[in-house]
Amino acid sequence: MKLLIVEDNQNLVANLFDYFEAKGHILDAAPDGLVGRWLATTQQYDGIILDWNLPKLDGFQLLKELREEHQSTVPIIMLTARAELPDKVSGFHAGADDYLTKPFEFMELEVRMEALIARTSRSAKARVLEVADLSFDLSTMEVSRAGQSIQLYPMYKKMLRLLMEASPSIVTHTQLEECIWGDSPPGSDKLRAYIHDLRRKVDAPFPNKLIHTLPRIGYRLASL
């Protein structure tokens, strides 16, 4: 495994290097969130071990940026002393794949990371969503239709992924709102505006329309 450790506790970093390098793994380390962001977005890693409380850019914000702005799918384990359930829930909602509280056993961290990487590798090989001539490659986050590339903002990609994974079943208004806004949806008018924009990109240039409205229920993406 090639891992990035984003952690400001240098004693812990040294111990992690001793343990993982003895097992044949390759490690890089970042002492703060800004260096971590630079390494995570310019280098290729199999997994990231991310501390929550970091100088310059905290781990929670870095996690959100990697998932939402950079569309990173690399497995990330958050490493933190925050053991309260609300903190764990916040970490998972921000995009963490797993969560370990300090103190922890190095072997457990290694096993968890290996399992995440193996699962991600298996799913990445076959994670191309296809409905009719619409394709969404989840490994590269590239969307295309009839061979034409479609540029979408991350929020629209989240919506499209939900619709394509459910296809040809219905995705309710509530499911879409939770996908976009979590527990604080602004209202149905805003959702309709988002669907309108998504249709303009995915459907409008093509004769066969894929996004269909189910009044008062939701939407479905299917070739009828």
pLDDT at res. 122: 60
**Tokens, residue 159:** 């919506």
Q: How far apart are CA 184 and CA 31, in angstroms?
A: 34
Q: How far apart are CA 75 and CA 48, in angstroms?
A: 6
Sheet containing 2-6, strands listed edge to edge, beginning at the edge strand earlier in sequence: 26-30, 2-6, 47-51, 76-80, 98-101
- Contacts of 80-88 with C-beta under 8 Å, sequence gap 24+, read 80/51, 80/52, 80/53, 81/52, 81/53, 82/52, 87/52
pTM for the model: 0.54
Residue pLDDT, tens place only, 102-132: 888 888 888 888 888 887 766 555 578 899 9
**163 contacts 220 by C-beta, under 8 angstroms:** yes
* Residue 24: pLDDT over 70: yes
**123-128-130 Cα angle (round to 5):** 140
pLDDT at res. 14: 93
Each domain of the chain, given as residue ranges in start order, spans: 2-125, 128-221
CATH architecture of 2-125: 3-Layer(aba) Sandwich (3.40)
12-21, 48-57, 93-102, 139-148: segment of lowest average pLDDT: 93-102
The CA-based diameter of the chain, rounded to the nearest angstrom, is 61
Q: Which one is predicted more confidently, 95 or 35?
A: 35
* Residue 57: pLDDT over 80: yes
| Confidence band, pLDDT 50/70/90 cuts, at residue 153 | confident
DSSP reduced 3-state for 91: helix
Residues pairing with 208 in the sheet: none
49-53, 104-108, 177-181, 220-224: segment of lowest average pLDDT: 177-181
Q: Which range has the top average pLDDT, 1-10, 73-82, 120-129?
A: 1-10
CATH architecture of 128-221: Orthogonal Bundle (1.10)
Q: Within 10 Å of residue 99's Cβ, how many Cβ atoms? A: 20
Q: What is the mean pLDDT of residues 31-48?
A: 90
**φ/ψ bin of 160: left (φ > 0), alpha (ψ from -120 to 50), beta (otherwise):** alpha
Question: What are the angstrom distances between the C-alpha of 114 and each of 88, 103, 110, 149, 170?
Answer: 21, 20, 6, 34, 35
